[in-house]
Amino acid sequence: MTAGTPLPSWRPGATRDALLGFLDAARSVPRADRVAYFDNDGTLWCERPAYVQLEFFLSALRRRVADDPSIGERDEFAALLSGDQDRVCELGLARIALALAGLFEGFTPEAFTAEVRTFMATATHAALGRPMSATVYQPMLELIGELRRQDFTVGIVTGGGTEFVRAVSEDLYGVPSELVVGTLIAYDFGRDGSGRPELRRTGRVLGGANEGPVKVANIQTQLGRRPILAAGNSGGDREMLEWAVATDRPALALLVDHDDAEREFAYAGKAATLTEAEPIKETAARAGWTVVSMAGDWETVFPR
């Protein structure tokens, strides 16, 4: 990046002006309140055609099934492995995610992290033809960099598994594990053969999926500081973005719009729940959020 040219991957225009205007205005905010939280899937990196975390679990599942084919007979796994989308939808992603998380029941945190890192070091994104770790969005990395230069604390608030994202957040985004809030698996405390304390993953989810209003409550309980910038791309980010701008201080709600079929994927942000009526882009328009058009606002999408 050239000195004097902040956000080089953002094209000149209203969106870039809004970011620079916010960065400028934030200088008046006390440092302790300069807090920015980003959703991860679809906001900081590509989530199509499948969540990276789902690819990770699928790869683990395939290895388990190769060792013991009977594992693949479980309903949730059979649906996934056969690619039967109707059956997958019928079972529901929440139930399938729980079954997949169960593959790592009994693992220590260190062993789980090592598996994620091995996956990320080798997996590729077939459709984009690049390493999975290089499906992060270059313009968002630059925004994070600018925020840090202004002494912002930058965190990730994701619907994905907390430990999955923590395993890669420092490398990909420079975000330490304590600033990652996601969907949590509970641990059991126990002792190893030598009587030394150890933690083992359970199959239980703590406090439900980190989506919608749960994101706001989890930010308060786990991080304790309210953001003045929140970025997301789906209905699951609605309340977090609303909360960030419900202040008299300079604040920014940023919604990434996936409208770039050529360089990434074009799709509407998913609703947070089945009963969620208003599409997130309509909320954004009504509330005056800053909408990022990937096609229009980004000169570059992925790192070179």
Residues in touch with a second copy (CB under 8 A) = 32, 109, 153, 155, 162-163, 166, 170, 176-180, 184, 186-189, 196-199, 206-207, 213-214, 216-217, 220-226, 239, 242-243, 246
Minimum CB distance to a second copy, residue 246 (Å): 4
104/302 with CB nearer a second copy: 104
Per-position b or e across 216-244, b if 16+ CB within 10 A of its CB: bebbeebbeebbbbbbbbbbbbbbbbbbb
Question: Among residues 132 and 245, whose Cβ is nearest to a second copy?
Answer: 245
Q: Which is nearer to a second copy, 69 or 224 (CB)?
A: 224
Least distance from a second copy to the Cβ atom of residue 61, Å = 24
Give least dist CB 239 to a second copy, A. 5
Q: Which is nearer to a second copy, 85 or 220 (CB)?
A: 220
Q: How far is the CB of 64 from a second copy (least distance, A)?
A: 24
Residue 217 Cβ, how far from a second copy at the closest point, in Å? 5
Pick 226 or 258: Cβ nearer a second copy: 226
CB of 238 to a second copy, least distance (A): 9
Residue 84 vs 151, nearer CB to a second copy = 151
